[in-house]
Structure formats: structure tokens, C-alpha cells
Structure 1
């Protein structure tokens, strides 16, 4: 266990303060023992790949847990995929395709399987909830539990899981498919993503949930009326900047660390976008990017009338 471990290098946006305490369990037994022996007043935050996250500049109090090699196993049998929570979504999709199973919707989703289950990640009209069979998790008290679909509280970009519950393994159902056809499908998805999203910039994926209540389907009949990017565009905030943060000119629902941004820059710009969209449309954008930790200060732009 480490003290004052820098966290910015572990996030896609490369911002944020340190973890008061940081722990990478070697296996399930190690994780359970540590949590069961932890003083009850110490908060716990599970950290995945840091892809959908702004860690505030003051860092995170308590214990940050990041799963590593002991939680990256993958097994495929019949129509089931048993995936360690630390497995990257893209890697799960590729390995499943090689085994003749269709989890291609995961290919372009940043992050890990544990995070995908926690936020019900999805794209192109498919969501993790559509495939979810069960998950293994460890409670704040160090107890191993099994979560069934009715325990998850799945909704659009949401579950009802306690924030300190550590997901360790997820079992998904997948339809059979030809490996070569699945590989070609994923290449098409990647090309579509790279043509429309700032994949070479430091981002955290989609910043706000779509008020429409669903992700892009990728179909020709997809509607954009209540998509977050469309609302942001109409409010004049495509390309807007605050300090080193910018709403991407390529896709206006992507916050970008354009030039040495702080977490306060990024969160502050996001809040300004929310205000502009509310003023223009009367619609409240809900953050999809998780924001955790303590701020060093409130960004001065947010204190202006």
C-alpha cells in the first residue's frame, strides 16, 4: 500500500491530485483481507482505467483500489464470456471475437469491464445490461457477493451499485458469430469512431449523457435532436475553451485537455457548457464523466454572474 500516490498518470485526461492511500491487490483473497481489515471510517474508491474520470486537483481521500493482473482473466465457453474486471473493453471484444462470440459493441468503449458494468456502458444501440448474466464483487467489509441483473439497477449510463463496491469479475452472454466477420465489423466501428471523435486527444470519452436517454445507434435513421453534442452546438459551445480545457472542435461532447489543463479547468468548462445549454434550451445536461476527489479551489469563471 502506497501513500500520496500520484493519480494523474493513471487517467486519460492526465489531471488530478494524489490518492491518500493506494492499493493494488494481487488477487481476490488479498483484496478481501485488506478491505475487511480497513478501519470503517476510511472511504474506498475503486479506480479502473481512468477513462471516464476527472480526479479533482486536491486528490482523493481514503483508499483508492486499482485491480491489476490478478483480475484480468478471460474464459469463453458456449455462449458465455467470463471476464476479469480489469480487462480492457476493447481486449474483451477482440478475444471474444476470436472465440466466435459477438461482444463487438465493447470494441470502441474506453475503459475496463468492471467500469463498463458499473456504468452500463454501451454504443451502437447495445448496452452491457443486454448481455449481463452476473458479476462477482467485494463489499466495503471484504465480503464476496454475487450480483444478478436485478441487483444492478441498470438504466441508461447508470447502476444502483454502492460507490465503494469493487466489481472483480463479470459474466456476459454473447451470440455466436464468425470470427472473421466479427473482426471486420469491429474494424468498421473503429473507422467510424476515428472519423467522428477526437481519439488522438486527451479526453474522457463522452462528457454528458444524451438527454434523449440512449446512445447513438449508428443507423441511418438515428435522431440527433436530443443528443448532447447537438444541444452543445446550438448553444454555441463547440470549441469553447477555459484555461487549458476545450470542448473538442471535432465532437462537441468531448472535453479535451488541450494544453496543460487542470481538473478545475475541465470541470469548470463542463459546468459552463451545462449553464449555456440550460440557458439556451432549458435542458439540464447530466455528467457522464465521473468527477471525484477534492478541489483545490473553485474555478474563478464559475463565480462570475
Structure 2
């Protein structure tokens, strides 16, 4: 007999304004405990030193995580000039220094080369896999890495301010797989002064904004109470711009069993991805084909 999963069948999203210090996994564990939830995950890791939006998915909402992970994100970050580190942030050892300091106009002009479709080499200390192993494990074991450049779309990269000659504050909107630390490293190289990230904050990711998030102190205060449940967003909140198609009663029943089901559509093209709802509840995600949704993910809101 299968062992029953511990916790309640909680389904939805809780947006957290992560502080510096805990790992993303530790934040998820705290949220799961506070809601007594049987299942939880997150959409996009933040390093321990980073702050800002961490979207935590509960229960069946974990099936929508890829739609947030793959969405554009926005970061505000501070770059310190004059030093390159082994990790491209303040946690690593300094491996190169420079006395040069760029003027604000030079920084602004250099940003143009980092906008649009670019190729970016991830930091050595990153989660990129090299022959099945994480780059950060290999780097910390002393191996010399030559990571391949990866395509990245940067929709916006702007200079927000220059608090002093040693630092600059920037904001970046980018697609999946972007490394802010690599931007700081490469920007410092382009300006001839080296650079690394000292502060990083995620402002939004896909449909979620840090302005709607709560802190871990609030999670602690409301733990195991209906007030914390009330802060949950519906699992469909993670589906962003994916169109919603109402299912017929028979269609909903078929979709719940993993079969193509009849849906009502007015402007969805054949082959488009969409999600189906019935009586206000999400039923499935799938591909629209000739009046039916062919499910790829089925939501079971009674699952525990």
C-alpha cells in the first residue's frame, strides 16, 4: 500500500519577497510548513544573497511552474567596479582588479551591446550542466571550465543610477536563462574596469510582481491560519497569457480523465496551447485542435 503524502491538498501560488540569506529551497520549505501543504515548489531559483520575488507553487500549481520559469523577468542590481571575482558576485574571491572607473555616460553607451538577442557565457558557479554535473560543483572542486555561450534575449537594460564612482545600479528585463552576474562581468570587461554584482533583487517574473508578495516574517505570523490561505492566488495565475477555453460538461469530464475534450473557442488557432476551465476551476492545459483540447497536463484539485 502506497504511503500517504503528509500535509493538506493546498493548490495555488504564494508570492514571497525573499530576504538575503536563506536559499530558495529553504523558503519553499517554510511556506510548505506554514500552509501544512503536501506539495510545493518554486518558479526560478534566487541565490541566497539575492532578494525579491520568489513565486512558490503549491499542489497542482506546480504543474504551471514552467510557464513562469520560461517567462520574462526583471531584476534590479548593483555592480561594483574595479574587481572581478571567481563567482561574479561579492561571495567569491577577487581574481582581478583595476583602478579604472567608468563615467555614467560610458556605462550607458556600453549597455547597447547587451540588449536584444545576445550570446552569454554563464558564470562558472552556476547550475548549468556539464556532462551531467552542475558547473558549480565542478568549479568548487577546482576544475577549469569552458562553458559554451548560450542565447539570451534582453528586452531592456538601463542605468538607474550611480551612487558613487565605484558602483552603478541597473535594471534588466530578460528571457529564460539569463545571468545577471554574467552581465556585470562582461560589462566590466567591456568598460576595461572589471565588475561584479553586490546586490540583486528580482522585481517581477511573468505575471507576478514583488509588490504583491509578503515577507517571511508575515509567513511566520500567519502560519497555520486561514489568513495565510487567503493570500494564495489561484493556480491559473501562473498561466500568464495562455488563453482560457471554457469546457463543456462532457468535455471537462473527458479532460479530467486525460482524454481530448470539447471546449468553446472564439479566437484560438489550431495547434495553439491553451487551458480549459469548467465552472470557474481549471481542468487541464493542452493543445487546441478543431474544437477539442488535447491535454498535456491535467489538474486534479482533489489530489493530496
Relative to total residues, which structure has the larger strand share, 1 or 2?
2
Query: TM-score, normalized by length of structure 2?
Result: 0.29
Greater RCO (CA < 8 Å, at least 6 residues apart):
2
What's the TM-score once normalised by structure 1's chain length?
Answer: 0.29
